[in-house]
């Protein structure tokens, strides 16, 4: 019954209203019941009656207790006020109400502070714990006259009921009604966007990715914003998983088809001469190697993405890596009839894994060689930039169309899959691996290209400052 937001809001408003009312009414009643304002008339009456009684008593002998008692009792019968005479010790000597009302206990402390304020009064409780208002004045040196009247409780109750409680109850009924209306409004203000969020989550479950309007309170709008981001990310992840599966299947299908075809030709005798057999075996070997490369690259990438690739961390002389880069690739460079230019600042050191960084630059140079026509130039550059080093590999090759320059770092992305055929054709994982390695080194990698004119790949890495370590590692790295 109280499971809905609306009923809970209403309940909480009602509890708050109730607490506020009790907190207000309780102290108000207790303050009012103690307020002298309510007893003004009674006190005034007591004071007048007390003065005239004292005047009457003072007409005769002030030590004649019997005389005083008679006057006091008679007067009490006439005006209905209870009179008592007490001595300095607070003991009751005369009580006009004795035998009629419960006795008055002795006064303790016995000495009264007699106030000048005509409206001031005191309260005592009789033996039945009933409260009496009283005023006191000295009669002679040894005794006091008390005039007392029952505390007018009923009047106050009536007044509270008619003047205070009734309007308060009316007010609280209105407040409860307003709380109900407010809870309706609040629950729809907060509840509707929440319901839309729940619907959206259900849609994600069923494979659609909604974008929600940002409505309601700020926190709910933030929630909707996070939901939208999550929805986009889930969609991207799902798309990339689908792409990934399609790409892997495609990359495996091509070599498998080749292997199957050539194996078949051996089996059914179509390839029978030693040359034909040799050719079939070499295609099978190349395609199997390509599949092996694919699996190794995929494993590397997934380890890098998970952070379990076991990267080393030490000062690495990046200048030496860049400088020696073309040595290993000389046969390829010569075969492609390319020229290499180098502009490398010496002794620049970064922190990280030397082999992995060498892998990145080898891949960039390999791509530059692959995508640059004969007669072209490849330039390797490395310079220092305050707290970073900036390395670049540029070529005068085919370039990358603007639209695709940002996508070449995605897994399996290739600008034109038909550019290179045969077993040496790329898989499209090299730049994805390179990007992951550079990210692990807190660096950045990006490409700038002009189709038909060439491309430049930049790598920026944080520089390592410790000069003493530089000298040691200069000799040890690579």
| From candidates 97, 193, 200, 426, binder to ligand ADP by CB under 6 A | 426
Q: Is the dihedral of CA 258, 260, 264, 266 positive or negative?
A: positive
Q: Any contact of residue 363 with ligand ADP (CB under 6 A)?
A: yes
H or E segment and range at residue 339: strand 339-344
What span, in angstroms and rounded, lies between the C-alpha atoms of 214 and 227? 10
CB 349 within 8 Å of CB 370: no
- Strand ranges, E, within 304-403: 314-317, 339-344, 349-352, 377-385, 388-395
Q: Any contact of residue 455 with ligand ADP (CB under 6 A)?
A: yes
Task: Tell me the number of residues near ligand ADP by CB under 6 A.
Answer: 21
- Strand ranges, E, within 353-463: 377-385, 388-395, 444-450, 454-462
What span, in angstroms and rounded, lies between the C-alpha atoms of 119 and 296? 103
Q: Any contact of residue 200 with ligand ADP (CB under 6 A)?
A: no
Q: Any contact of residue 376 with ligand ADP (CB under 6 A)?
A: no
Q: Any contact of residue 368 with ligand ADP (CB under 6 A)?
A: yes
Q: Any contact of residue 408 with ligand ADP (CB under 6 A)?
A: yes
| From candidates 197, 298, 349, 427, binder to ligand ADP by CB under 6 A | 427
Tokens of 259: 């292997």
Q: Any contact of residue 397 with ligand ADP (CB under 6 A)?
A: yes
What span, in angstroms and rounded, lies between the C-alpha atoms of 25 and 27? 6
- Strand ranges, E, within 139-289: 143-150
- Selected range binding ligand ADP among 47-55, 323-331, 341-349, 396-404, rule: CB under 6 A: 396-404
Q: Any contact of residue 428 with ligand ADP (CB under 6 A)?
A: yes
Q: What is the bridge-based pairing of β-strands 444-450 and 131-138?
A: unpaired
Kindly tell me which of 259 and 360 has the beta carbon lying closer to ligand ADP: 360
Kindly tell me which of 216 and 426 has the beta carbon lying closer to ligand ADP: 426
- Selected range binding ligand ADP among 54-62, 121-129, 143-151, 408-416, rule: CB under 6 A: 408-416
CB 319 within 8 Å of CB 347: yes
Q: Any contact of residue 13 with ligand ADP (CB under 6 A)?
A: no
What count of residues does the chain have?
A: 478
* Ramachandran angles phi, psi of 286, nearest 5°: -60, -45
Kindly tell me which of 104 and 380 has the beta carbon lying closer to ligand ADP: 380
- Selected range binding ligand ADP among 71-79, 276-284, 299-307, 393-401, rule: CB under 6 A: 393-401
What span, in angstroms and rounded, lies between the C-alpha atoms of 27 and 35? 12
CB 148 within 8 Å of CB 124: yes
Closest approach, Cβ 469 to ligand ADP, in A, equals 32
Q: Any contact of residue 414 with ligand ADP (CB under 6 A)?
A: yes
Closest approach, Cβ 206 to ligand ADP, in A, equals 35
Position with the least CB separation from ligand ADP:
426
Residues lying near ligand ADP in the complex (CB under 6 A) are found at 363, 367-368, 371, 395, 397-400, 408, 413-415, 426-432, 455
């Amino acid at each position: 019954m109280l499971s809905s937001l609306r009923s809970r809001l209403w309940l909480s408003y009602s509890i708050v209203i109730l607490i506020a009312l009790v907190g207000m009414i309780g102290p108000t009643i207790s303050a009012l019941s103690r307020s002298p304002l309510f007893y003004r008339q009674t006190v005034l009456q007591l004071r007048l009656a007390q003065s005239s009684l004292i005047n009457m008593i003072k007409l005769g002998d002030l030590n004649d207790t019997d005389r005083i008692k008679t006057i006091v009792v008679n007067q009490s019968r006439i005006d209905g006020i209870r009179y008592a005479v007490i001595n300095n010790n607070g003991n009751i000597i005369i009580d006009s109400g004795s035998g009629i009302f419960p006795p008055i206990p002795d006064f303790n402390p016995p000495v009264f502070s007699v106030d000048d304020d005509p409206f001031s009064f005191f309260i005592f409780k009789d033996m039945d714990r009933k409260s009496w208002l009283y005023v006191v004045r000295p009669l002679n040196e040894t005794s006091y006259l008390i005039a007392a009247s029952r505390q007018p409780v009923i009047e106050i109750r009536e007044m509270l009921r008619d003047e205070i409680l009734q309007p308060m109850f009316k007010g609280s009924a209105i407040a409860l009604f307003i709380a109900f209306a407010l809870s309706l409004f609040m629950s729809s203000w907060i509840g509707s966007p929440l319901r839309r969020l729940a619907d959206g989550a259900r849609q994600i479950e069923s494979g659609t990715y909604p974008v929600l309007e940002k409505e309601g309170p700020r926190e709910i709008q933030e929630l909707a914003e996070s939901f939208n981001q999550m929805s986009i990310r889930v969609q991207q992840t799902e798309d990339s998983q689908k792409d990934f599966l399609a790409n892997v299947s495609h990359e495996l299908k091509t070599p498998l088809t080749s292997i199957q075809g050539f194996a078949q030709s051996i089996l059914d005798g179509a390839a029978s001469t030693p040359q034909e057999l040799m050719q079939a075996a070499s295609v099978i070997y190349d395609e199997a190697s390509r599949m092996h490369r694919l699996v190794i690259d995929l494993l590397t990438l997934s380890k890098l993405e998970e952070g379990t690739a076991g990267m080393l961390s030490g000062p690495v002389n990046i200048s030496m890596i860049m400088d020696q880069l073309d040595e290993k690739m000389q046969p390829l460079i010569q075969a492609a009839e390319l020229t290499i230019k180098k502009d490398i600042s010496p002794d620049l050191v970064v922190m990280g894994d030397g082999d992995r960084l060498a892998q990145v630059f080898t891949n960039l140079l390999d791509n530059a060689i692959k995508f640059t026509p004969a007669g072209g130039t490849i330039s390797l550059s490395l310079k220092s930039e305050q707290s970073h080093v900036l390395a670049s590999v540029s070529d005068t090759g085919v370039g990358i169309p603007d639209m695709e320059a940002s996508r070449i770092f995605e897994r399996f992305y290739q600008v034109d899959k038909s550019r290179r055929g045969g077993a040496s054709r790329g898989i499209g994982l090299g730049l994805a691996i390179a990007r992951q390695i550079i990210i692990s080194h807190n660096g950045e990698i990006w490409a700038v290209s002009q189709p038909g004119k060439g491309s430049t790949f930049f790598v920026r890495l944080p520089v390592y400052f410790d000069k003493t370590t530089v000298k040691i590692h200069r000799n040890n790295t690579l």
